[in-house]
Structure 1
Amino acid sequence: MFNLMSNCCSWVSKIQEPIRKVTILVVGLDKAGKTSSIRGIVDTGPTHSCIRNELRVENYLVTLLDAGGSPESRGTWRELYAEAHGIIFVVDSCDRQRMKEAREVLADLLKQPRVAGKPILVLANKQDKMNALVGSEMIEILSLEKLVNQSRSLCHIEPCSALMDLRRWSDRKTLRGLRWLLRAVCLDYPELCARVAQDSRRPLESRKREKKGKSGKIHRKTKTYLDTCLNFALSFLFCYLGLNVPI
């Protein structure tokens, strides 16, 4: 009877909790299984650019921003940092040859002012393969502890297999990792929302400043050019009339 009452109380408290809107940016190297990992949570297709997927997880309305991982596509990540409350970074735990590249990309990601301090989930994908690195090895190779301490970001590494998650509905590790990330976002939710709102306004302001700066440079160059032409014309006129050029 007591257990029944306890379960009812927890169920009622969950219903009364506010619905939180959370945006998660999903990035990683190409061929790391990023899109397959997301497919273990929601239905999605191959990623050629940023794809938005929405789902409900408990009391969270989650928007997943699935960004392309090719070197050409990584430049677009910066446009998405501002609206993200948290980050999912997917790594191919079998691709030992690209671990250095993954570490460099992750280090650059965490150095970004609009990313530093936000919680990050590292999905160590393809754990179903024989040569997959285990979680402790991934932490060491990626220098994960050092990087997250420098950026002051909460971090969790979740070993998973995107392909196995597609078959195993009862215990999807990608979804388990997402739940951790949502709880981490919840710990600092008001501050993260304020930060997202502030950072989302900055690009417009920076572009205005950039345009003003460019127009100012053009104006200065034009003025300098006209002054030079005028001085040259006056010097020629004085020489033609046989007058001394004033200093």
Structure 2
Amino acid sequence: MEITTLASTWPAALTDPSGRRQLKPRTKGRTMVIDKGIGLHAFTDLLATSGEYIDIIKFGFGTSPLYPLPVLKNKIELAANQGITVIPGGTLLEAAVRLDMVPGFFRQVLALGFTGVEVSDGTINLSRGLRNDLIKDAKSLGLTVFTEYGKKLFGSRIDVDDFANTAEQDWSCGAELVTVEARESGKGVGLFDERGDCRDDDLSHIRSVIPNLSRVLWEAPLKEQQVSLIKTLGPDVHLGNIPVHDVITLESMRRGLRSDTFELQQVPFLEYMI
């Protein structure tokens, strides 16, 4: 077969064989990327190649104050221009709580152009009342609020009933999504054991307690974890702490464009001749 002209785009069935992926702004299958300090050129390259597949970018931990302010502001603006929600890591707000500097934190978040925040207690302990206040205050400032459940200490596991109760209260206060902690390592924390394998019994228990997981985001930095959650919960599962170099890889798995999730393709009946 001779091809003489270059098509303007790939056939739709090849672009998304699953036939399920939403365009932005997505309500299903959102991807949160963790930026641990890449430079402005690398960040620009990330958005040029993968921006369409990123819904949230988190500047990890407490890294935000360590950037030169013009660089940080530029990164935030570039991402926001692509319809990406940009948030500082929850650890920074935890530090602000511990140092009694929450108003200053929110002032700078707004001044820099962040469009969301993460409310967490992975390192400190937040009372339920203070957690409620932080969610409501951020929401009143026009910020999208993501909360996080779980401790960062290695060996920490999910108390399923406590998670369900916490999530319900977070949502009632205005949280967009509740994130299940797994750190950037994905090992020995939350849903994953010390090898990074999914604790299937815990996941099954969570599904029995919270049947609708459409407002839960799972930190899953490792490929095997992403595959497991996509196969168990479907390609519309919200996934977070995705490394910057794995965005397109994850998107290919959501669409059935990698062997790990090839079965997601919606293939019409064909009669093959062997």
For the superposition of Structure 1 and Structure 2, which TM-score range results when normalised by the shorter chain? Answer: 0.3 to 0.5
Length-normalised TM-score, structure 2? 0.36
The structure with more helix, counted as a fraction of residues:
1
